Structure 1
Amino acid sequence: MNIGEKLKALRTQSGKTLKELAAEVDLSIGFISQFERGKTTIDVANLKKIADVFNVTIQYFFDDDSDDQIIIRSYNQKIDKQLNHAIYKPLSSKSTTLTMQPELLILLPTEAKELPKAYTHEGEEFLYILAGTLTLIINDQIYKLYPGDATHLNSQLPHNWGNLGSLPVKMIIVHDSQHRNSEHHG
């Protein structure tokens, strides 16, 4: 949705008419109508007034929050979460109709060079190493994975991974969407 469409959606959901919104933000009905249809632009001060009326930040109008997004542009990837020394960036939409949830995971080096404790959880995982050296533990066996290496495993096997090197490890990880929040602590 563009900025005008987002405004129209907010206004419609709140039950406000063009006339009511125009009176609250001191703009003409025609101007707001044209803005909603993408026929004109708006300055930041007036957009801030509108955002305040609907109790949202200005950023709301610029965020791409589409759950049905098919293409994820590299310049539009956002950090989903940071946990310990790991940065997660989603590589697909968070659509509830999709079963796989791929992420770019960047494991930063740590001072403590100890193996993470293996654990189990529901689901399955796929890993593909893009850069660095990943230390992977599966059933008490230790593996080193290098760029181009991959693994696909049942997450009910005791497993975990970590970055025991001095450079970041970049990898693509794919969970099924039901078990996406099973986080590794290595």
Structure 2
Amino acid sequence: MGSVEEDVLAGVGSRLRALRQARGITLAELAAETNLTASTLSRLENGKLRPTLEQLLPLARAHEVPLDDLVAAPPTGDPRIHLRPVRRAGMTVVPLTRRPGGVQAYKVIYPPVGQASALAPQTHEGYEWFYVLNGRVRFVLADQEFELGPGEAAEFDTRLPHWIGSADSQPAELLTLFGPQGERAHL
């Protein structure tokens, strides 16, 4: 196998780990989704096992990404960005960055009050910054509550209990930067 193919396959593990961590799931949970063993997934993520197409297809399906994203296929010459929204817990998340690891950018659309998931603050590793593009946002951070409108921004350590959602009967649109390792946004 040539060096180009080896370079492509060498980067698959870190991309797989970044996708799994961005979803906040364990190897065991991903194993249940893909019918691959947690041991196989761990070895793929650590680069100790060369991925096969039979392994990559269920992983791409589980992470809801094109197979090209897993192997970092070279660009086709088309400069257009093909955004693929993901719907989770009533909200729509549009990834704006295509590389694994580091600070990730997203456009997030929270559904109107009544269509959103119940207020259930969560915690996880990382640091988040968001900017309200449209609508009003209810932001709960630990024992504080805020309402933000268009043009306002907030940043916080995601290890603190937090919840974000629309503050009224209209959807809320945010630009979000998230650093899974605690990277802060620099303005």
Normalising to structure 1: TM-score of the pair? 0.52
Q: Where do 5+ consecutive residues of structure 1 fail to align?
A: 1-8, 14-53, 57-61, 180-186
Report what 1:154 is aligned to: 157
Shift of 1:178: 4.9
Going from structure 1 to structure 2, the CA distance change for 1:85 and 1:146 (only over 3 Å counts) comes to same
Alignment of 1:1-186 (within 5 A): 65=69, 66=72, 76-79=82-85, 81-96=86-101, 99-111=102-114, 116-178=119-181
**What CA deviation, in whole Å up to 9, does each residue of 1:109-144 have, x standing for no partner?**
142689612232211111111000000011221100
* Counterpart Cα distance in 2 of 1:113 and 1:131: 17
* Counterpart Cα distance in 1 of 2:127 and 2:166: 21
Report what 2:61 is aligned to: none
One-letter amino acid of the structure 1 residue matched with residue 98 of structure 2: S
* Counterpart Cα distance in 2 of 1:160 and 1:113: 11
CA contact (8 A) 1:100 1:174 kept: yes
Shift of 1:164: 3.3
Going from structure 1 to structure 2, the CA distance change for 1:114 and 1:121 (only over 3 Å counts) comes to closer
* Counterpart Cα distance in 1 of 2:169 and 2:92: 16
Shift of 1:172: 0.9
One-letter amino acid of the structure 2 residue matched with residue 125 of structure 1: E
CA contact (8 A) 2:111 2:165 kept: no
Going from structure 1 to structure 2, the CA distance change for 1:117 and 1:134 (only over 3 Å counts) comes to same
Normalising to structure 2: TM-score of the pair? 0.52
Shift of 1:74: 7.5
* Counterpart Cα distance in 1 of 2:80 and 2:155: 25
* Counterpart Cα distance in 1 of 2:155 and 2:175: 12
CA contact (8 A) 1:67 1:93 kept: no
* Counterpart Cα distance in 2 of 1:67 and 1:178: 26
Going from structure 1 to structure 2, the CA distance change for 1:74 and 1:157 (only over 3 Å counts) comes to farther
One-letter amino acid of the structure 2 residue matched with residue 144 of structure 1: E
Shift of 1:171: 0.2
Q: Where do 5+ consecutive residues of structure 2 fail to align?
A: 10-52, 58-65, 183-187
Larger Rg: 1
* Counterpart Cα distance in 2 of 1:118 and 1:138: 8
* Counterpart Cα distance in 1 of 2:134 and 2:81: 19
**What CA deviation, in whole Å up to 9, does each residue of 1:55-76 have, x standing for no partner?**
99xxxxx98744787xxx7862
The secondary structure found in structure 1 opposite 2:114 is coil
* Counterpart Cα distance in 2 of 1:101 and 1:175: 5
* Counterpart Cα distance in 1 of 2:109 and 2:103: 19
